[in-house]
Structure formats: C-alpha cells, structure tokens
Amino acid sequence: MVSKVKPIALVTRRMPSAVLAPLYTACDVDLHDHRGSLSHVDLCARLVGKHGLICMFNDRIDEVALSAGDKLRVISTVAVGVDNIDVAAAKDRGIIVTNTPNILAGATAELTWALLLAVMRRIGEGDRLIRNRNWTGWAFDFLLGTELRGKQLGIIGAGRIGQAVAAIAPAFGMRAVYAARLGQSEGKVASALPVLSLDELLLTSDVVSVHVPLTADTRHLINRRTLVRMKRSAFLINTSRGGVVDDTALAWALDQRLIAGVGLDVFEDEPQVHSDLIARENVCLTPHLGSATRETRTAMAELAVRNVLEVLEGRSALTPVVLDG
C-alpha cells in the first residue's frame, strides 16, 4: 500500500510546540526555529516546494516570494493586517490568504490604554528618574501630568480594536468619539458614539488614538497637515501600523511643541526608530507589543495553524481575507 504524501508547510518563526503539534501530524514542517525573521532571500529559498505558509506581519510576501512558492495553496498570517502580503497576486495564483481577526482586540486595547496612561501621567519619565537615581524628593509641582477624566478620546478607526478601546473610556471618565474612514460619510459608521469628520476629531480631541489598517489610503494619514490640526495640549497614540504615522513629521511636531506627547507601539521602519523620538521625554515607546500576551499570541497561532490545515485538507479556510470590491 502506497502511503499518502504529506503536504509541506513553512513556519517562519518560533511558535509553541503544542500549537504546532497538529501541523506536524498532518504535514512535513519546515520551521524557522528562531525569534528573528528570515531575510527575504532566505524566505524565498525556503518557499520552494511548500504547500502552506504560516508567516508573521513583517514577512514580505510579494511577487518574488509567490513565484518561489509556486506550489503554495494557503498563506496564513499570524496577524490581522495583511499589508505585507500581495493579496491580489496571491488570489490570481489561486492561493488562499488568511489572517487572525477577532482575537487580539482586547490585548491591543489594553496596551493602547497603557501607553495613554504612561504618556499622560508621565510614568516613563518618573521611572527613568528613579532608576538613574536623580529623584531628590516630593515637590508640589513635580512631574505634573494630565488627568484623563473629562477629556475627549478621538478614535481613528471604528473596527474591533477601536471599539474595544472606546469601551474602556467611560471607566476613566473620558468621552469617546470616532472618525469616519477616508471616503466614508459620518452617517455610514454604525456606532452608538458620535462620529466626526477626521478634521473635527483632530481639532477637538484631547487624545487621538489610531486604529486603522495600513493601506495606500492610510499611509501617512497622520502627517504635518493633520498634526497641525491637533490641540497643543493633545496626545497621539498609535498601536495600529507604523506607516500610518509619518515619523519625521511627528518628530517635527514635537520639536515645534504642536502636541503634548506621544505613545507609540509601532514604527515606520521597525525595528529602527526615529532618533528624535527616542530622545524625547514626552514620548513613550514600546516594541510592537499590542498582541503580546500569552493568551492572545497562543490563540492567534492556533487559528493560523487551523487555517492551514483546513485548506490543505480540502476544506474552507476559517478566516479568509476577502479583497474589497
């Protein structure tokens, strides 16, 4: 009796062995068992002959990669955003692309609020002061921050993460509002909260929090033109994608004191960070930790594995990416 030939799957990053166990049962697995990413050249080389791919948000799956992986049937990214994948080109080749939605909204919302609190209450500054042994004692007007209660939180992007962030606002006494997406009228956003134009949100909000995917329309959505519309007392938080904010424009706005402070979890040129942002005390930086909880990362990895297995075993993907239009 001839044994069935197993499909071959490439996994581009170290993942929990228990999560990968079902994949090893059904497939021959090529695992890049490291925390660091593959170079694009190495990624393309290892895609040759692979039927399934589990990748991360920073693995570039372009025409070159798709040509190398000419046997691919499914690309499963352990992320919500798919800006690193040429989804249209994959579709043209008959490759199913999947992502991991409906999982990381809570964890990312938590980190958004952590950054918001850290920059508004100057927690990072205080921590550094103590660690550097420069604290000389309590003073009445020392490291005064900004209170959240009574302030307006402007949320750009009313998807799952934006909604999860908004749901926490009442606990801090903040009033949340949304901005309509580019090209979308205010009336088309289903929300119990006020929906403003982007300009109105920028002009009136005390905190602006960004939660949109990175697309051609949203790249550098936050730029010099939009930053000058913000209150000088306002704070900017970005836990979406680095390219949504023009880091050079942001550094300029901080230098001109056009805004009060910034909390960033993502950057234009990760893992490189604009030197002017690193140098500023009123900027709180985290290394892309939005979904970085044990619970969320495990659930994301499990869904990514299940998507690969569903497609390779002839069933429909659980969470396929559908192109707009």
Residues designated as active site: 241, 270, 288
User: Is the bond preceding 271 in cis, omega lying within 30 degrees of 0?
Assistant: yes
Closest CA to 55 of 63, 46, 310, 64: 46
Q: Please give the order of strands across the beta sheet that includes 28-31.
A: 28-31, 8-11, 52-55, 74-77, 96-98
Q: How many CB atoms lie within 10 A of CB 25?
A: 10
Residue corresponding to tokens 């205010």:
186
Q: Please give the order of strands across the beta sheet that includes 152-156.
A: 195-196, 175-179, 152-156, 207-210, 235-238, 261-264, 283-285
The 8-class DSSP code of residue 5 comes to: P
Alpha carbon distances (Å) from 234 to 170, 212, 254, 283: 19, 20, 11, 13
CA pair distance 84, 323, nearest whole angstrom:
14
Residue corresponding to tokens 């964890």:
107
H/E element, 154: strand 152-156
- Residue 58 near residue 270 (C-beta atoms within 8 A): yes
The 8-class DSSP code of residue 36 comes to: S
CA pair distance 204, 154, nearest whole angstrom:
8
